Amino acid sequence: MFRSLIKGMTAGAAGTTALNAASYLDMAVRGRPASSLPQQAVAAMAERFGYEIPGEGEERENRLNGLGPLAGIATGVGIGVAAALFAPVVTRLPVGAASVLLGGAAMLATDGSMQQLGLADPKTWSATDWLSDAVPHVAYGAATVATLRRFANR
């Protein structure tokens, strides 16, 4: 069980790195700004659970700017751990299907929580918005699957 945890954390970290790289590449190519949704989600969840983010003004914003990406890393690593628990199934699927499956799981976790918090409504997104979200998540899935397959072939 401990080995599966470590393998999943490693695979999720690889996937998260791929997702971040794809997102930053998109920002560089299109000249678009970073999303503030991760920070907004942390603030909304803190409020929902009765926790106050310490500080005021810039200090509080700086904390949120650190906590938003950390929440994304935790999500990516967590989905990697879940995928490692199902590695015998995930690694038998065709690479493309497994990549879309895990990318879709990560996308559902993030977009679903944003929708539940009232921060985003995917029904209103344009095709470009969907592509900007889907491509990095498929990159996440591909890197996570590749890492899990590497562990399975040892």
Walk along the chain (154 residues) and give the pLDDT tens digit of each residue: 889 899 999 999 999 999 999 999 999 999 999 999 999 999 999 999 999 999 999 999 999 999 999 999 999 999 999 999 999 998 899 999 999 999 999 999 999 999 999 999 999 999 999 999 999 999 999 999 999 999 988 7
Q: What is the pTM of this model?
A: 0.93
Q: Can you give the C-alpha Rg of the chain in angstroms? A: 16
Q: How far apart are CA 20 and CA 27, in angstroms?
A: 10
Alpha helices, DSSP H, located in the chain: 2-30, 37-48, 57-85, 87-90, 95-116, 127-152
The residues spanned by each domain of the chain are: 2-152
Taking the CA atoms of residue 38, residue 40, residue 42 and residue 44 in that order, the dihedral angle to the nearest 10 degrees is: -150
At 46 the pLDDT is 95
At 23 the pLDDT is 96
Q: How far apart are CA 115 and CA 56, in angstroms?
A: 27
List, in order, residues 6 or more apart from 91 with CB less than 8 Å away. 98, 145, 148, 149, 152
Q: Please, are residues 16 and 140 in contact by the beta-carbon 8 Å criterion?
A: yes
At 63 the pLDDT is 97
At 153 the pLDDT is 80
The terminus-to-terminus CA distance of the chain in angstroms comes to: 17
